[in-house]
Amino acid sequence: MTRNLPTSGSLRNHLVLTLIGGAAILALLLFFAIRNYATQVAQQGQDNILGASVTSILDAASIRDGTIEVDIPYASFSMLSTQSDDRIFYAIYQDETFLSGYPKLSLATVSGQESIFQSVKHRGKTVRLVTASRTLIGIEKRTQIRVALAQTQDALSGTLAQISRNAALFGTGFFALAALLSIWASSTTVGQLKRLTNSVTRRGPQDLSPFEKPVPSEMLPLVTSLNSLMQRLDHSLGQSEDFIAEAAHRVRTPLATVRSYAEATLQRVDKEENRQALRSMVRAIDESSRAAGQLLDHAMITFRADHLEHQNLDLVALVNELVVRLMPIAEMKDLELRFHSDAQITYSGDPVLIQNAVRNLIDNALKYSPSEGTVNILVTAAPNVHVRVCDSGNGFPSEELNTLATRFKRGKNAEGTIGSGLGLTIAMDVARAHGGNLQLSNGTEGGACALLSL
């Protein structure tokens, strides 16, 4: 029944991959943005301290007796202390003349108040270099003092490494969260589809009613088409049932006429072979009209099962009435009908359907029981509400126990007995419509048992 359809990939995987991919790109962007920003901030921090330090050195420059003095404040270098014990280099120039510090330190040409920050190589190490100048006015001439101050970047790179680690952690966390969210989001989205699939799958074979539960707007077209498909299906099914019912009805009436004529003719015919032929005719007509009757019943049951009317009834009284009505037929066949039941069982169901089902079961039992046999009918509510009909016949053919209740299926031992093969089907349909089931079994000492649980 289920055929493996070719798939064009998984919607869910597609969704998850798209979302996770997006999250990964975002996480990477976040990481680089944070690191870039942190680098700027950290570099700005170092530059600020270097700038303050170089300014304090320049402030300490003065001309005394014609010579330049630069009384470097202790704090100028002290403020450059870092966690990683960064090395510092400095050089002081008067105009182009080296005065003090590290002569190999290259410094930028500066003028005015501007401080120039550079990252340069000094002694094979990248250092941050600040160059600033100050013009001193002496007695004879103006002179420019230039101070270059450089610091290694060990602490800075340590800080950056830590920030990078944190940013990476942050990015990973963001990514993990986004991945979880995307999996969750895709699951919920696909879950809607799954729910619809489930509700389609769970439906009974007769259930062709439209889906009423709210669905997401994107799925509305699908559900609408599905509903319209089912409506058309329901309609055509109904039509065919109607057709069968109509056909059966139309056949039954003429059959009755034909039967009455055949009976009448039988009275008047004396020739034994003619009488035999007529008797066969009557039998065939009986069989046909019974089949037509059951087809009608079946159509009625199908209709009523779809629109089940629940009404409170006393199951015991209902079955008892049926038994009383069938008593004459049983007596005609020399059969004994035994009825056992609880005092009263209130049940909510469709009385017409239940009566029909039970009648079919008892009919069957009467048909297949040999003369002088007994048919036991039990109605009880323990452990669940059920009606059991057992005869003393040959029982069902054991290999057919599971298939007997299908339409037009008759047991192998049914030959010679009038029947359409719809009786058990009707009982089964009624049981299912009431949420119950029909179980067939053979008694240990022979005889067939049908258990209609409701």
Partner 1 sequence: MRIAIALVLWVLPQVIFAQEWEDRQLFNDHASEQKLRIISSTDTSFFTPIIKSFISKYPNVAVEYLVTGTADIDRIFRATPDAFDVVISSAMDLQLKIVNDGLARPVSNVPLPSWAQWRQSLFAFTSEPAAIVINREAFAGHPIPDTRQKLIEALRARPEIFRGRIGTYDVRKSGLGYLFATQDARASETYWRLMEVMGALDIRLYCCSGDMINDLSDGTIAVAYNVLGSYATARVESKGAIEIILPSNFPTTMMRTAMVSIDAPHFEDASAFIRHLIALQSGSEKAAFPLPPLNSKLNDVERSTIALEPALMTFLDTLKRRRFLAEWEDAVIQKQQK
In whole angstroms, what is the distance from residue 127 CA to residue 251 CA?
A: 110
Binding mask 20-59 for partner 1 (x = CB under 8 A): ----------------------------------------
Q: Is 299 in the site for partner 1 (CB under 8 A)?
A: no
Q: Is 70 in the site for partner 1 (CB under 8 A)?
A: yes
Q: Is 157 in the site for partner 1 (CB under 8 A)?
A: no
- Please choose, out of 20-28, 79-87, 206-214, 308-316, the segment that lies near partner 1 by the rule CB under 8 A: 79-87
Q: Is 101 in the site for partner 1 (CB under 8 A)?
A: yes
Q: Is 75 in the site for partner 1 (CB under 8 A)?
A: yes
- Restricting to residues 114-133, name those near partner 1 by CB under 8 A: 123
Residue in 13, 81, 276, 417 binding partner 1, rule: CB under 8 A = 81
- Nearest approach, Cβ of residue 142 and partner 1 (Å): 20
Residue in 35, 87, 409, 432 binding partner 1, rule: CB under 8 A = 87
Q: Are 408 and 422 in contact (CB under 8 A)?
A: yes
- Please choose, out of 66-74, 229-237, 289-297, 365-373, the segment that lies near partner 1 by the rule CB under 8 A: 66-74
Return the C-alpha torsion angle 391, 397, 402, 405, nearest 10: -60
- Please choose, out of 68-76, 241-249, 270-278, 417-425, the segment that lies near partner 1 by the rule CB under 8 A: 68-76
CA atoms 156, 162, 164, 166: torsion sign = negative
Nearer to partner 1, 80 or 377 (CB): 80
- Nearest approach, Cβ of residue 86 and partner 1 (Å): 8
Residue in 78, 267, 384, 444 binding partner 1, rule: CB under 8 A = 78
- Nearest approach, Cβ of residue 151 and partner 1 (Å): 9
Looking up tokens 């700038």 gives 51
- Nearest approach, Cβ of residue 57 and partner 1 (Å): 9
**Of the candidates 287, 248, 259, the residue with the CA atom closest to the CA atom of residue 414:** 287
Nearer to partner 1, 125 or 249 (CB): 125
Nearer to partner 1, 77 or 339 (CB): 77
Q: Is 145 in the site for partner 1 (CB under 8 A)?
A: no
- Please choose, out of 4-12, 24-32, 98-106, 410-418, the segment that lies near partner 1 by the rule CB under 8 A: 98-106
Binding mask 198-227 for partner 1 (x = CB under 8 A): ------------------------------
Residue in 58, 92, 285, 322 binding partner 1, rule: CB under 8 A = 92
Q: Point out which residues bind partner 1 (CB under 8 A).
A: 68-78, 80-81, 83-89, 92, 99-101, 123
